[in-house]
Amino acid sequence: MPEGASVMNSDEMLATTGGRELERIVYSAERIAARVREMGRDIGSAYPEGTRLLVLGLLKGSFVFLADLVRCIALPLQVDFLVVSSYGLGTTSSGDVETLYDPGTPIEGRHVVLVEDIIDSGRTVNELVPELIERGPASLEVCALLHKHLADDLVLEPRWVGFDAPGEFLVGYGLDHAEDFRHLPFIAAI
């Protein structure tokens, strides 16, 4: 185990989850941290030195990932957020992507990285990418922590993917179920 790594015992785990059982831990906090560092380096090296990136995070799920990721990108950057919803209280996408908050950040002529927590049905990416392209960015790339590879018709495949995700419903590290579990330092199946 890496130095400084911590492992929760079952009592601590139940306390952290409000007494709700997790099926299994899919990605440990240590494994996530290592992969996020790699992704940050990859993103930083993909653009010419001095490029000012605009990193757009999709809230709420991407906030933990985005916070860790931007600290690993060795370029000047700005961060903004979009809020969309397609899940509600369920464990499957409703199929309807609703934009709840669009800051209208000027992106014309800018290099934009859209940060997504998980790509499963692909509806969110397919809804947002054309809207963002209409705003005239110099470039637009997608970065996803998790990719389930369920969508075969993505309008833009993610350039950077943290992990190929299993078909289970995942929580933790920003991902939720009915707004619970976002605070977990690892990703688990429920």
- Residues 89-104 pLDDT 10s: 554 544 566 666 677 7
Within-domain flag for 178: yes
* Per-residue model confidence as pLDDT tens digits over 69-123: 999 999 999 999 998 776 555 545 445 666 666 777 899 999 999 999 999 989 9
How many domains are contained in the chain? Answer: 1
For residue 133, what pLDDT is reported?
95
Is the pLDDT at 29 greater than 80? The verdict is: yes
Q: Which residues of 3-37 are buried (b: 16+ CB within 10 A; e: fewer)?
A: eeeeebeeeebeebbeeeebeebbbbbbbbbeebe
- One of 11, 68, 80, 120 is an active-site residue; which one? 120
Is the pLDDT at 132 greater than 60? The verdict is: yes
Q: Is 180 a catalytic residue?
A: no
From residue 163, alpha-carbon distances to 3, 26, 132 in Å are 23, 10, 25
What CATH code is carried by the domain that includes residue 97? 3.40.50.2020
Nearest to 92 by CA among 64, 120, 69: 120
Local structure of residue 5 (DSSP, 8 states): -
Within-domain flag for 111: yes
Within-domain flag for 18: no
Within-domain flag for 114: yes
pTM, rounded to two decimals:
0.84
Mean per-residue pLDDT for 144-155? 92
Within-domain flag for 23: no
Mean per-residue pLDDT for 138-159? 95
Range of the domain at 117: 30-189
Asked if 125 and 96 count as a contact pair (C-beta separation under 8 A), the reply is: no
CB-CB neighbours of 159 under 10 Å: 15
Within-domain flag for 10: no
For residue 171, what pLDDT is reported?
95
CA distance 167 to 157: 18
